[in-house]
Amino acid sequence: MGKKIQWLHGRAQLADCLQDMAEQVRKGGFPFGPQSIKVPEDLEARLSLKVKKHGATCKLEWRLPAPEGREPAVDPRQEGLLPSSFKQVKKELARTFRALKQAVNEDAMPDSPLLDEFERLSRAFTAHAEPEWDRAAREYLGHMENLIRSARDGHREAVIHEIQDLQTRMVNCHRDYK
């Protein structure tokens, strides 16, 4: 169950929205669709302000327990299937992606174990993804699947194209979400 982010226009509208949210959090509930999610007293939140070339970004993030009646998803990190930290997944994924590019640059096709590892780490990466990254993560997985299919079918030009697309997606992701 996801709730669309509402875009606000103007300082006054943003201030009103933040004030409404603050009142709701103080009361111990946060409306989410037709129901309200309980806000615990010992809530941890993160407020970040990043200044970049193109402007500043302010983010407020907190985690709330699942609404009543909704079963929490199984966390693959607890199942021991994925590396436990996002940084570790990114590091291993970057190493594997470099190996894919190196194989292609040496006029070879990536072998099956390398493709399997790339797929496993790519899925781990998207499992760690923040909800706001959903669209970008789905695009990434689509290109990853195309790359693997093309490599297994022996279509070198398609593999090169997908590697370039994945590289572009990574650069854009870092620019937009980091």
Residues 40 and 99 in one domain: no
Name the domain count of the chain: 2
Beta bridge partners of 58: 49
Whether residue 50 is contained in a domain is answered as: yes
Q: Tell me the average pLDDT across 43-62.
A: 81
* Helix or strand run (H / E) with residue 48: strand 45-52
Predicted confidence (pLDDT) per residue in 2-47, tens digit: 555 566 678 888 888 788 888 888 888 876 656 677 888 887 788 8
At 18 the pLDDT is: 82
Domain residues for the domain of 34 are: 11-62
At 5 the pLDDT is: 57
Sequential DSSP letters for 119-169: HHHHHHHHHH--GGGHHHHHHHHHHHHHHHHHHHHT-HHHHHHHHHHHHHH
Q: Pick the residue with more confidence: 178 or 97?
A: 97
User: Phi-psi category of 80—alpha, beta or left, where left has phi over 0 and alpha has psi -120 to 50?
Assistant: left
Predicted confidence (pLDDT) per residue in 70-117, tens digit: 544 544 444 444 455 778 888 899 999 999 999 999 988 889 899 999
Whether residue 1 is contained in a domain is answered as: no
Side chain identity at residue 140, one-letter code: Y
Residues 121 and 39 in one domain: no
At 161 the pLDDT is: 92
- Separation between Cα atoms, residue 135 and residue 45, nearest integer Å: 24
Residues 107 and 165 in one domain: yes
- Separation between Cα atoms, residue 55 and residue 4, nearest integer Å: 24
Which pTM value belongs to this model?
Answer: 0.54
